[in-house]
Amino acid sequence: MLQDYIVKFAAGDQGKLDLFDLVKDYYNHYMAVNFKGTAEFSKKYSLDEKEKILNGALLKEIGALANIDAEVLKKNSSVFASNPLLQWATFAVVGMVTDVILPDAIIKSTGYYNDVRVIGYGDSASWEITPRDLFVVTKASKGKRLGSLQKQYQGQVTLVPEDHLVSVYVDLYRVLAGLESLGAFLVKVARSIETQMSLDIYTAFDTAMKALPSSGNTQLKYSGYSEAVAVSAAQKVTAWNGGKPAVFLGTKAALSHILPADANYRFELNSDYVKVGYIRDFKGYEVIELQQVADYTTPFGLALKDDVIYVVSPSSDKLIRTVIGGDMISYTTTEYSYANLIQTGTMRKAWATAVATSSIAAIITL
């Protein structure tokens, strides 16, 4: 499902809509080949063949936006490389097709605990937070007309997207000459934004989990894993979320600790534990892996924690809210602005994330 502003950009042009479908298919295929992604994609062409088709489609759309015939553009790339309209059109198309990929990618990586909403540029988004508590029922005599009057109020959370920048440079001449791939460039831009957005969402989620109560009857933060602790946490989260089933979330390393208390268990070579590294179902609760992400602020670091297991109810109110603000804005310099004739491009994308929920969750530190 395409966002409204992308549909308006296409303006009923089937060529643009076909390009958006081609971009999503190429991205899903690329992620499946390089990162074992699970999204569906067409198997009619190989990834290399799709890259050539996509590059041709992108150049055609760039030419159409700049009012330059694609075939003329290919044959006279050196002449058109300095065309300011062409430079603008290149990053405008890259920005728009990146927006096509982004929401689906975010939902796949954080959808178990995060609610994503895409809005127009300059807008804000509001969520109504419904109380999870039930009304109190008390005994009464036959002559009593009213019990204690009760009323619940909905809360409201508003998020305003904040701008984020990605500044890159590309040798436009090499792109137009077919020596550099716009398709590969596009995927890297999308992955860069998606990774940073996912990290912002995960950081908000983990910060909220660390602030949970850890003692007495209100305990939602557990120290040390055991089968009894896991079942207790899952039961509590399920019950207090109105019976919405809890699931265990964690990285592959963390989920590998979810095992029966019996020390004499055995695993066959074709079992889930051997094939994927963890049990997919434990005591009737689903076990779901969070794909580990590289932490580029630390040499060879990992962003997601391997020593915690989160217990959440995905079908109840999501714990985190994320708003993505409108279409991507891009602006460029000319290649003659720099001595080495490079062209810089900056892509501006807005988003914001916050903890806003009426659900409860639990965390188990291994």
- pLDDT beyond 60 at 60: yes
Mean pLDDT confidence for 105-126: 84
Per-residue model confidence as pLDDT tens digits over 18-34 = 777 787 787 777 777 76
Nearest CA to 327 among 98, 60, 117, 158? 98
Q: Which residues pair with 127 in a beta bridge?
A: 157
Q: Please report the pLDDT score of residue 25 as a whole number.
A: 80
pLDDT band at 239 (very low <50, low <70, confident <90, very high): very high
Residue 133 is given by DSSP the state P
Q: Please report the pLDDT score of residue 285 as a whole number.
A: 92
Q: Please report the pLDDT score of residue 310 as a whole number.
A: 94
Mean pLDDT confidence for 116-141: 85
- Domain parsing of the chain, residue ranges: 208-320+358-365
Contact in structure between 336 and 295 (CB atoms under 8 Å): no
Helices marked H in 43-157 — which ranges?
47-65, 70-75, 77-80, 84-110
Q: Please report the pLDDT score of residue 231 as a whole number.
A: 92
Per-residue model confidence as pLDDT tens digits over 3-20 = 555 555 555 555 566 777
Q: Please report the pLDDT score of residue 270 as a whole number.
A: 74
* Site of tokens 């049990």: 279
Q: Please report the pLDDT score of residue 106 as a whole number.
A: 83
pLDDT top residue among 125 and 101: 125
Per-residue model confidence as pLDDT tens digits over 292-305 = 888 888 888 888 99
Is the C-alpha dihedral spanning 294, 297, 300, 303 positive or negative? negative
Give residue 102's identity as a one-letter amino acid code: L
pLDDT band at 248 (very low <50, low <70, confident <90, very high): very high
Size of the chain, expressed as the number of residues it contains: 366
Q: Please report the pLDDT score of residue 237 as a whole number.
A: 92
**Residue 149: Cβ within 10 Å count:** 5
- pLDDT beyond 60 at 320: yes
Per-residue model confidence as pLDDT tens digits over 162-219 = 988 887 766 656 665 556 666 677 777 778 888 888 889 999 999 999 888 877 667 8
26 vs 172, 205, 220, 273, 303, CA distance in Å? 22, 30, 42, 31, 27
Q: Structure pTM?
A: 0.77
Q: Which residues pair with 364 in a beta bridge?
A: 222, 309
Contact in structure between 89 and 332 (CB atoms under 8 Å): no
Map residue 20 onto helix, strand or coil. helix
314 vs 253, 255, 291, 310, 329, CA distance in Å? 21, 17, 17, 12, 33
pLDDT band at 82 (very low <50, low <70, confident <90, very high): low
Q: Which residues pair with 169 in a beta bridge?
A: 344
Per-residue model confidence as pLDDT tens digits over 250-287 = 999 999 888 877 767 777 777 777 778 888 888 889 99
Q: Given 3-state DSSP classes, what are the helix, strand and coil percentages for the chain, each rounded to the nearest 5?
A: 40, 20, 40
Q: What is the DSSP string of 158-214?
A: EE--EEEEEEEEE-HHHHHTTSS-HHHHHHHHHHHHHHHHHHHHHHHHHHHHHTS--
Q: Please report the pLDDT score of residue 61 as a whole number.
A: 79
User: What is the per-residue burial (b if ≥16 Cβ within 10 Å, else e) of 201-210?
Assistant: bbebbbebbe
pLDDT band at 48 (very low <50, low <70, confident <90, very high): confident
Element spanning 323, H or E: strand 320-332
Q: Please report the pLDDT score of residue 329 as a whole number.
A: 78
Q: Please report the pLDDT score of residue 75 as a whole number.
A: 61
- pLDDT beyond 80 at 357: yes
d(CA 58, CA 345): 17
Q: Please report the pLDDT score of residue 27 as a whole number.
A: 78
- pLDDT beyond 80 at 65: no
Q: Please report the pLDDT score of residue 311 as a whole number.
A: 94
State the average pLDDT for the chain.
80
